[in-house]
Structure 1
Amino acid sequence: MATPHIELQDNNLIAKTVLMPGDPLRAKFIAETYLKDVVQINGVRNMFGYTGTYKGRKITVMGSGMGMPSIGIYSYELFKFYDVDTIIRIGSAGAYTDKLNLYDVVLAKNAWSESSYAKTMGVSNKKKLAATKKVNNKIKKTAQKLGIPVHEGTIHSSDVFYRINGDEYKEIYEKQDAICVEMESFALFANALATGKNAACLLTISDSLVTHEATSAEERQNAFTKMMEIALNTKI
């Protein structure tokens, strides 16, 4: 059945595992670059989604948009109404430490947030939510086989991109041990708890709040291939 935000009528055209970048054009790039026999499954609001095969396995990739309300809507509809079992977010992040360089891959062990998303959903009053451990373990094994280093740790899911206090990240890094920042995973993990499903998050460092280095918009869309290949090769 179609939902308010996903037009697909046939659940059989969505895989049990969905890779979810924030940028719908990154979803398009992944589908065109890596998948075979691709079918577009969504175009509502230009939030592109595609299903195809990768090494014989059925895979769906779909954009989430920016921020927790956006990924909150799409991931919940996929979990609840389209029988998706696992969502792996594949996104960009800003480094909170000089131990992370541009293009490094980060696996979220858990996500800390100031957000009230989980509380409002009626899921949890906690400010730190964990990724699904069994999925993370499979991701780490896949990365090891591919020879791609992965940094695992706590990440910060923020509701705010432009903070007035630009140095606030230092306190978050020290108190929460959050090694980088993005804007979606806390809501994704909350929805997995709410629906009894699985969620994980792979990130590529796109910029650094410490060194002020940054990638371009085109690089964020097309060049984060290590993260993509880890997710594509992870068998859930």
Structure 2
Amino acid sequence: MSIKNSELILNPDGSIYHLNLKPENISNTIILVGDQDRVEKITKHFDTVDFKTQKREFKTQTGTYKGKRITVISTGIGPDNIDIVLNELDALVNIDLKTRKPKDTLTSLDILRVGTSGSLQSDIPVDAIVLSSHGLDINGMLHSYQIQPISNPKMEDAFIKQTQWSPLKARPIIIENSKKLEAQFKSKTTHSGITATAGGFYASQGRVLRLPLQDDTLNGKMDAFNFEGVCITNLEMETSAIYGLAKLMGHHALSLNAIIANRANGTFSENPKKAVENLILYTLERLS
């Protein structure tokens, strides 16, 4: 059965609605960044750039680095935007946009997040690279999908118990990364652990301006969480959504973050641009 026009929305030129892309515009290797200005900070290292487009915050450039074709896309901020980007990328490779039917043979993408984050652990210094072993969904977006096959109930139950998680909030979901990509990108220079994904920047991450928090001790309890030697290394707004949707759709995903702040000891990178540049070069070299 064909997917209805209201569910799979295409632009008049046949491109997918939000990303403004056609299947031929992307590679099977995708780098996701939050900030649209970071797209060119990556593609400036490319040997060639053969495609460019932008619609809203979604900026895309595709080209080659040392002979490997790579697509870089800005997602903007938050799990809601990841929901758009991952679904539309999957549609580009796994749905025939003319017949509006899923393909018989499915394509698996390699999806890498290259981002910035703050460390929650005092032993992970600023300017370090964190490779996310798991994504911890504390925002609830993934509950709209059938997530039972990809969740980790034992670890989730331990998190709920150790943090005294409010039953009024969505149940936390913990999703593993792609072991294939982890093997490719893990090294002696990377730190590894759980990346928590919040649904907002302020109260969701324990920041107080004028409004009180539902639980003003949550950050400390998250810092102290440990499950069989695995702790929460950092807190941001995209990783769990990428891991969850990628795994449900059969894609490989890995999140890499340059640590520009350490919230445990109150330090901030003296040169955050250099930290991001080092992560970009590390990612490109590992891809090539």
Q: TM-score, normalised by structure 2?
A: 0.72
Q: Deviations over 1:124-145 (max 9, x none)?
A: 38410011111111112xx45x
Q: Which moved more, 1:224-233 or 1:67-76?
A: 224-233
Q: Which moved more, 1:178-187 or 1:122-131?
A: 122-131
The AA in structure 2 aligned to 1:151 is H
For 1:181-228, what per-residue CA distance to the aligned partner results, in whole angstroms no more than 9, with x for missing partners? 111011111111221111110001121212222358x945x6412221
- Cα deviation 1:34-62 (Å, max 9, x = unaligned): 11221343300042111111111111111
Partner of 1:150: 190
- Matches for 1:154-193 after TM superposition, within 5 Å: 154-163=194-203, 164=208, 165=213, 168-175=218-225, 177-193=231-247
Q: Which 4+ stretches in 1 moved above 6 angstroms?
A: none
Aligned to 1:118: 142
Cross-structure match for 2:132: 108
Q: Is the contact made by 1:15 and 1:84 (CA closer than 8 Å) also made in structure 2? A: no
Percent sequence identity over aligned pairs = 22
Aligned AA (1:209): R
Aligned to 2:160: none
CA shift digits 1:70-91 (9 cap, x unpaired): 1221122112324561110011
2:265 aligns to what SS in structure 1? coil
The reply on whether 1:28 has 2:40 as its aligned counterpart is yes
| Cα-to-partner distance string for 1:89-134 (whole Å, 9 max, x where unaligned) | 0111111111111110000000112222222122338410011111
Structure 2 counterpart of 1:227, which letter?
Answer: L
Q: Deviation string for 1:133-168 (max 9, x for gaps)?
A: 11111112xx45xxxx10011111111211245653
Tell me the equivalent position of 1:67.
78
Q: 1:55 aligns with which of 66, 86, 93?
A: 66
Distance in 1 (CA, whole Å) between partners of 2:74 and 2:123 is 29
Please tell me the root mean square deviation across aligned C-alpha atoms, in Å.
2.2
Does the 8 Å CA contact 2:109/2:252 hold for their aligned counterparts? yes
User: Contact 2:120–2:262 (CA<8 Å) still a contact in 1?
Assistant: yes
Q: 1:234 to 1:181 in 2, by over 3 A?
A: same
The 3-state SS of whatever aligns with 2:91 is helix
Q: Say whether the 8 Å CA contact 2:198–2:236 is kept in structure 1.
A: yes
Q: Distance in 1 between matches of 2:138 and 2:220?
A: 15
Unmatched 5+ stretches in structure 1 = none
Question: Please, which of 17, 27, 31 is the counterpart of residue 15 of structure 1?
Answer: 27
How many residue pairs are counted as aligned between the two chains?
A: 226
Q: Give the secondary-structure state (helix, strand or coil) at the position aligned to 2:30.
A: strand
Relative to the length of structure 1, the TM-score reads: 0.87
1:37 equivalent in alignment to 2:45: no
Q: Report the Cα distance in structure 1 between the residues aligned to 2:126 and 2:111, rounded to whole angstroms.
A: 25
SS at match of 1:30: helix
Q: 1:188 to 1:6 in 2, by over 3 A?
A: same
Give yes or no for contact 1:19–1:231 (8 Å, CA) kept in 2. Answer: no
The answer to whether the aligner puts 1:202 opposite 2:265 as a matched pair is no
- C-alpha separation in 2, matches of 1:41 and 1:122: 34
Larger radius of gyration: 2
- The whole-number CA distance in structure 2 between the counterparts of 1:208 and 1:91 is 15
Aligned pairs for 1:73-88 within 5 A: 73-82=84-93, 85-88=109-112
SS in 1 for 2:77: coil
SS of equivalent residue, structure 1 residue 224: helix
Structure with the larger helix share:
1
The 8 Å contact of residues 64 and 71 in structure 1, kept in 2 or not, is answered as yes
